[in-house]
Structure 1
Amino acid sequence: MKRVQRVARKRRIDMIFWLSLGLLSLIMLGIRFSEANTQTNEPTNTPVVTKKNEQKATITASGDMLYHDILFRSAYDGSGYDLDNDYAQIKPILKEADLSLGDFEGTINPDWQLSGYPMFNAPEEVADSIKEAGFDVVDLAHNHILDTGLAGLKSTAATFKKIGIDPIGVETDQADAMVIKEVNGIKIALLAYSYGFNGMEATLTKKQYNQYLRDLDMEKVAADLKKAEEVADITIVMPQSGVEYSLEPTKEQQKNYRKMIDLGADIIFGGHPHVAEPTEIIEKDGERKFIIYSMGNLISDQRFESVGDYWTERGVIMEVEITKNDGGTKLTKVKAHPTWVDKEPIAGRFYQHPEYGTVQAQDYQVFLAENYLPKGKYADTVPEIKRQRIETAYYRMLDLLNIQW
């Protein structure tokens, strides 16, 4: 009986083994059939998807560098002008960018006396400070470029060229009308124009005016933008226009800047009002174009204590990203970095002002406002009342710009 049971149990085990083996064979056969069927049905002309060739460039732009005489007279240490710390705190963001654009308002004319408002003429050391900060290009198309005459225009442009900074907005030779910067394989056209020249253009002949100055004649602008479209991947315009100290653009600003976009500009970095003005995104041909009507002051003596306006001590560094690939070149990122001008007495240093006599020297620095938010990099380095003033500047600026990216 036991032997019969053992034989029956062995038969059941054998049966389970062979059934399992058969089931495994069917599964393997099904997998092979599925693979074969998939291979048979796959189209032979399916394109191979490859990663597009792509280059990116980061560009920064900022507002007016307005050198009132107290800025450079305070920096005189007996042997020269020590301006090294003016831009120390914004230097990292400028250096990290592939291209940094600035707006120098005034002249640098060594054959003219140094002066601030209303006829600006700064020492050559300011250009070295701007270079050290990381600026690659400066806009010279502004209403003060003739403050020290045509010679001042020429010497200002020459001073920046000598240290490797490209001036735009004035034409001292044929190449200056439009500057093309190639950055990471992306060709960027740079143009700049001013609404006027404080009446100083009356000192020029018509030929000189047409040769050296770039004004906001929209027919000329249209011709320049057409040329830019032919040679560049992206076009940036830095116009100087608007009403000083107004937080809103004029109808003329809106009309002209939007027209520039229609004519081929991709980015408008506006200046002149000495306060910031809002931004605008324009859809064109399926792409987004960017306008900021004014970037305010980057550095100046126009703080609240001087002029009674908090907005004149506030500015912004705009950061944009340009992307070029097989589909073309377009704007892919826009970011604002609000700035604030700090002013502190320099202990033990005074200077003789030709009009005001003995004056306490002041140290000016451009602060990156985000560093002074709670837990920011430099939040603990200033008194709380100052930190709150900077924090207020930061949020008010972002609210005003209203970037809808």
Structure 2
Amino acid sequence: MKKINKKRVAFASLVIICLIIIIALIINLTILPLFNNLNGVTKNKQAKAKKESYDTVSLVAVGDNIIHERVFQYASTNGTYDFTPCYKHIKKYIQDADLAFINQETILGGDTLKITGYPAFNSPSELAKNLIDTGFNMINGATNHSFDRDFEGVKAASQTWRQYQDIIYTGTYDSQSDRDTIRIIEKNGIKFALLSYTQSLNEYNTNPYKLLKQTAYAVPLLEDTAAIKADVQKAKEQADVIIVSAHWGDENEAEVTAKQQEYAQLFADLGVDLVIGTHPHIIQPVTWVNGQSGNKTLIAYSLGNFLSTMETQDTQLEGMLSLNFIKKDAKIFIDDITWTPLINHFGDNTVEVYPLAKYPDDKLAKHFVLHDKPNIIQQYKAKTRDVIGDKITIKD
């Protein structure tokens, strides 16, 4: 019996060994090549994805930051000013973007030139840090109010903004060399130039146009097309993307003027990538304009106000433009364009900006202008769709 058992064991062992060899051959001839092939496909996909990766820079832009008397009174505390509460409901959206543009409508001349509201504005210098802390890093200063404190205001503002790093401020200049310097900011390997121009200057104090003859560099005007062409050419030599801030149009008018369209076409023909329009205080369309070289320029004719205590219904509805700059195969294009409706709230001793979709119901009854308009939010949504149209995504 023992011999029989040994033979059976030996036979069984031989069978097992043969089965192992057969299974190994099957794995080697079929399964391993398949796995290697799949692994190769995965690696190829990963390599392709890596090859097709591109740099993206996000941008948000808002409109006119107007420091009326009630605004700086609200921000006044213990002999200084703090405007950060005005922006607390919008801060997240600003800080989430790589680039954040704002039109600083009123000059930051500081206390030495006396803080004043409308019509000849002069705003506290503390506002600069408050805006930067909120997340803004692209600031325009070329507006019709740039000379409200004459050249002294321009110099004071330039010195204030010059203190801060990692931001660019354009539109008012205290010397020719300052004016000749193209403002560049770099994000994710892409260089952006910001150029600023205004169509007019107010004459509340002295004649600013007479003053400009002595300091022609101080505030760039849209009518100086020769300077615009030179600026754009210089910017092209230093930056990948050119953004223009254009302070233009008619105040409180929804219709885009012929002059706005004329300048928009000029910027498109020069190869500008994006034009951010301000000044009308109410929202105007966003559209593409074809340039003479086959390029397209995105024109946001007016973002409306941002912060103010203006007392008309239309000036409380505002907009935030959001988009991405995408660099792919050495080319840069604009994508993911969206418009977020905003609302300016002032009343109950506060001045604040909210996304329209997040405006608290209980605030409306306290709004200085809108308190007796219970359906205004729906009206604002409809107006936004009517003005912006269906080619731009509108965020609720």
Which band: TM-score by shorter chain?
0.7 to 0.9
Distance 1:383 1:73, change over 3 A: closer
The answer as to whether partners of 1:103 and 1:138 remain within 8 angstroms in 2 is yes
The answer as to whether partners of 2:168 and 2:184 remain within 8 angstroms in 1 is no
- Deviation, 1:390, is 3.4
- Deviation, 1:124, is 2.1
Question: Residue 256 of structure 1: which of 254, 263, 275 is its match?
Answer: 263
Question: Residue 204 of structure 1: which of 211, 215, 219 is its match?
Answer: 211
> Which residue is 1:105 aligned to?
105
> Which residue is 2:322 aligned to?
319
Question: Residue 300 of structure 1: which of 296, 308, 327 is its match?
Answer: 308
**What TM-score do the two structures reach when normalised by structure 2?**
0.78
Question: Residue 336 of structure 1: which of 336, 339, 352 is its match?
Answer: 339
Find the residue that maps to 2:147 and give its secondary structure: coil
> Which residue is 1:184 aligned to?
188
- Deviation, 1:89, is 0.7
The answer as to whether partners of 1:370 and 1:394 remain within 8 angstroms in 2 is no
> Which residue is 1:269 aligned to?
276
> Which residue is 2:141 aligned to?
140
Q: In the aligned structure 2, how far is the partner of 1:202 from the partner of 1:328?
A: 41
The answer as to whether partners of 2:170 and 2:183 remain within 8 angstroms in 1 is yes
> Which residue is 1:80 aligned to?
80
- Deviation, 1:270, is 0.4
**1:282 equivalent in alignment to 2:286:** no
The answer as to whether partners of 1:141 and 1:169 remain within 8 angstroms in 2 is yes
Distance 1:160 1:393, change over 3 A: farther
- Deviation, 1:73, is 1.4
Find the residue that maps to 2:158 and give its secondary structure: helix
**1:61 equivalent in alignment to 2:61:** yes
Find the residue that maps to 2:302 and give its secondary structure: strand
Q: In the aligned structure 2, how far is the partner of 1:318 from the partner of 1:391?
A: 20
Q: In the aligned structure 2, how far is the partner of 1:219 from the partner of 1:93?
A: 37
Distance 1:366 1:391, change over 3 A: farther
> Which residue is 2:238 aligned to?
231
Question: Residue 195 of structure 1: which of 193, 199, 208 is its match?
Answer: 199
What letter corresponds to residue 148 of structure 2 in structure 1?
Answer: D
**1:367 equivalent in alignment to 2:369:** no
Q: In the aligned structure 1, how far is the partner of 2:327 from the partner of 2:178?
A: 25
Distance 1:255 1:403, change over 3 A: farther
**1:171 equivalent in alignment to 2:158:** no
**1:402 equivalent in alignment to 2:393:** no
Q: In the aligned structure 2, how far is the partner of 1:218 from the partner of 1:402?
A: 31
Q: In the aligned structure 2, how far is the partner of 1:264 from the partner of 1:387?
A: 45
What letter corresponds to residue 158 of structure 1 in structure 2?
Answer: Q
Per-residue Cα deviation, 1:278-322 (whole angstroms, up to 9, x for no partner): 1112345666431111111001111xxx2xx31111111111100
Q: In the aligned structure 1, how far is the partner of 2:234 from the partner of 2:183?
A: 11
The answer as to whether partners of 2:64 and 2:279 remain within 8 angstroms in 1 is yes
- Deviation, 1:231, is 2.2
> Which residue is 2:14 aligned to?
none
> Which residue is 2:39 aligned to?
none
Distance 1:315 1:150, change over 3 A: same
- Deviation, 1:52, is 2.6
Find the residue that maps to 1:58 and give its secondary structure: strand
**1:241 equivalent in alignment to 2:271:** no
Per-residue Cα deviation, 1:226-269 (whole angstroms, up to 9, x for no partner): 22222221111111111110001101100111220111111111
Give the gaps of 5 or more residues in structure 2: 1-29, 35-46
Q: In the aligned structure 2, how far is the partner of 1:205 from the partner of 1:269?
A: 24
Give runs of aligned pairs for residues 28-67 of structure 1, distance below 5 A: 51-67=51-67
Q: In the aligned structure 2, how far is the partner of 1:382 from the partner of 1:197?
A: 35
The answer as to whether partners of 1:282 and 1:289 remain within 8 angstroms in 2 is yes
Find the residue that maps to 1:86 and give its secondary structure: helix
**1:154 equivalent in alignment to 2:141:** no
Identity %: 27
- Deviation, 1:76, is 2.2
The answer as to whether partners of 1:53 and 1:326 remain within 8 angstroms in 2 is no
Q: In the aligned structure 2, how far is the partner of 1:150 from the partner of 1:64?
A: 22
Q: In the aligned structure 2, how far is the partner of 1:383 from the partner of 1:118?
A: 29
> Which residue is 1:123 aligned to?
124
Q: In the aligned structure 2, how far is the partner of 1:291 from the partner of 1:398?
A: 17
- Deviation, 1:180, is 1.1
The answer as to whether partners of 2:84 and 2:131 remain within 8 angstroms in 1 is no
Look at both structures and tell me which one has the larger radius of gyration over its CA atoms. Answer: 1
Distance 1:65 1:146, change over 3 A: same
Distance 1:227 1:296, change over 3 A: same
The answer as to whether partners of 2:82 and 2:127 remain within 8 angstroms in 1 is no
Which deviates more, 66-75 or 241-250?
A: 66-75
Q: In the aligned structure 1, how far is the partner of 2:267 from the partner of 2:295?
A: 15
Give the gaps of 5 or more residues in structure 1: 1-30, 36-47, 346-361, 373-377
Which deviates more, 243-252 or 200-209?
A: 200-209
What letter corresponds to residue 61 of structure 1 in structure 2?
Answer: A
Q: In the aligned structure 2, how far is the partner of 1:132 from the partner of 1:403?
A: 34
**What TM-score do the two structures reach when normalised by structure 1?**
0.76
- Deviation, 1:370, is 2.5
- Deviation, 1:392, is 3.1
Find the residue that maps to 2:112 and give its secondary structure: coil
Which deviates more, 183-192 or 384-393?
A: 384-393
